[in-house]
């Protein structure tokens, strides 16, 4: 069995506790307008043209996005940095795309990690059948769970899918006691409005608070714009401004009544 991945990032420090290896699996059921990894959405290997400087000239070169990897190959990559995980209480994070789109591989991968005593995290959009969660819960220490909008119509307009499965899944996951860090992209004029963030805060307050140990607000940025060009995809948020530091702090304050540590991740 092989997974289709598009990247493995070593020494990641924003995808869970400590120093981690983040494995990015390809394929996502959502098409968020603000996606920073548009190369993750298509569940096939893609070929795109990129501009590459060689000397003082630019050349167009073909780049393949995605490669297949076996569990043994992946584990051998992960093992290279074991000493850093042990010294920092870090581990391995499976991200995407939506890593649970490749549930058979993911289940085996988190199980192998746990068998060798590695801390495991799954970064999920939540848009999968809950039975997929049930398969990985026994081997997963932490879920990084993205929630975006409480209004179903807007959620669908911005991400391509409705939000009911996502909101149901996070409630069930919290009830079963799994540790969850909620991640909320903060995209001005789209989901980062006072109305939506207050509604999200109210939604979180109704969930089992003990399971949710952190909230991260992720400011929208434009660092990925070139990826849309390379993939011949339209960047529909080209006119949206990045939020200011003050805006982020104001939005952070909305979550204060929850008494859950809320961070701004730059
Ligand atoms: S869920 Fe994440 S990876 Fe998927 S489209 Fe949205 S931002 Fe991109």
185-221, pLDDT tens digit by residue? 999 999 999 999 999 999 999 997 799 999 999 999 9
For a ligand 1 pocket test, name from 37, 94, 144, 218 the mutation site with the most ligand atoms within 8 angstroms of its C-beta. Answer: 37
Would you state the structure tokens that stand for residue 196, as one six-digit string? Answer: 């939506």
Set out the domains of the chain in order of their start, with CATH numbers: 2-264 (3.20.20.70)
Q: Is 155 helix (H, G, I), strand (E, B) or coil?
A: helix
**Those residues with Cβ within 8 angstroms of residue 9's Cβ, 6 or more apart along the chain or in another chain:** 15, 21, 22, 24
- Nearest CA-CA partner of 183 in 211, 143, 223: 143
How many whole angstroms separate alpha carbon 135 and alpha carbon 169?
Answer: 13
Chain position carrying tokens 């995407």 = 96
Please state the φ and ψ torsions of residue 20, each to the nearest 5 degrees.
Answer: -135, 160
For a ligand 1 pocket test, name from 97, 143, 145 the mutation site with the most ligand atoms within 8 angstroms of its C-beta. Answer: 97
Q: Give me the half-sphere count of Cα atoms (radius 13 Å) on the Cβ side of residue 166.
A: 28
- For 2-52, the pLDDT digits (tens) are 999 999 999 999 999 999 999 999 999 999 999 999 999 999 999 888 877
Which atom belonging to ligand 1 lies closest to the Cα atom of 159? Answer: 6
Query: How far is the centre of ligand 1, averaged over its atoms, from the C-alpha of 58 (Å)?
Result: 31
Chain position carrying tokens 């999968």 = 128
Query: How far is the centre of ligand 1, averaged over its atoms, from the C-alpha of 98 (Å)?
Result: 7
- For 70-89, the pLDDT digits (tens) are 999 999 999 999 999 999 99
Ligand 1 proximal residues by C-beta, below 6 Å: 28, 30-32, 35, 37, 40-41, 96-98, 125
Which atom belonging to ligand 1 lies closest to the Cα atom of 31? Answer: 5
Helices 245-254 and 194-205 pack at an angle, to 10 degrees, of 40
User: Are 191 and 149 in contact, with CB atoms under 8 Å apart?
Assistant: yes
How many whole angstroms separate alpha carbon 28 and alpha carbon 101?
Answer: 7
Which atom belonging to ligand 1 lies closest to the Cα atom of 40? Answer: 3
Query: How far is the centre of ligand 1, averaged over its atoms, from the C-alpha of 33 (Å)?
Result: 9
pLDDT bucket at 61, cuts 50 / 70 / 90: confident
Report pLDDT for 266. Answer: 60
Q: How far apart are the first and last CA of the chain?
A: 36
For a ligand 1 pocket test, name from 38, 96, 149 the mutation site with the most ligand atoms within 8 angstroms of its C-beta. Answer: 96
pTM, full prediction: 0.95
Mean pLDDT taken over the chain = 94
């Amino acid at each position: 069995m092989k997974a289709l991945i598009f990247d493995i990032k070593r020494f990641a420090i924003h995808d869970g506790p400590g120093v981690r290896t983040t494995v990015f699996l390809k394929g996502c059921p959502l098409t968020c307008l603000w996606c920073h990894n548009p190369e993750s959405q298509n569940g096939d290997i893609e070929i795109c043209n990129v501009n590459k400087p060689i000397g003082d000239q630019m050349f167009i070169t073909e780049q393949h996005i995605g490669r297949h990897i076996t569990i043994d190959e992946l584990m051998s990559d992960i093992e290279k940095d074991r000493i850093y995980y042990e010294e920092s209480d870090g581990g391995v994070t499976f991200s995407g795309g939506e890593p649970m789109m490749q549930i058979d591989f993911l289940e085996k991968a988190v199980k192998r990690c746990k068998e060798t005593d590695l801390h495991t995290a799954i970064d999920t959009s939540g848009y999968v059948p809950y039975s997929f969660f049930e398969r990985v819960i026994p081997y997963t220490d932490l879920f990084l769970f993205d929630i975006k909008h409480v209004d179903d119509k807007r959620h669908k307009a911005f991400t391509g899918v409705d939000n009911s499965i996502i909101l149901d899944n996070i409630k069930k996951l919290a009830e079963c006691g799994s540790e969850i860090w909620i991640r909320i992209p903060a995209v001005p004029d789209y989901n980062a409005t006072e109305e939506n963030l207050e509604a999200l805060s109210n939604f979180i307050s109704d969930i089992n608070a003990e399971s949710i140990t952190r909230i991260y607000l992720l400011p929208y940025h434009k660092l990925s714009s070139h990826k849309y060009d390379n993939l011949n995809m339209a960047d529909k948020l080209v006119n949206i401004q990045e939020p200011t530091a003050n805006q982020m702090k104001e939005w952070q304050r909305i979550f204060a009544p929850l008494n859950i540590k809320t961070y701004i991740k730059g």
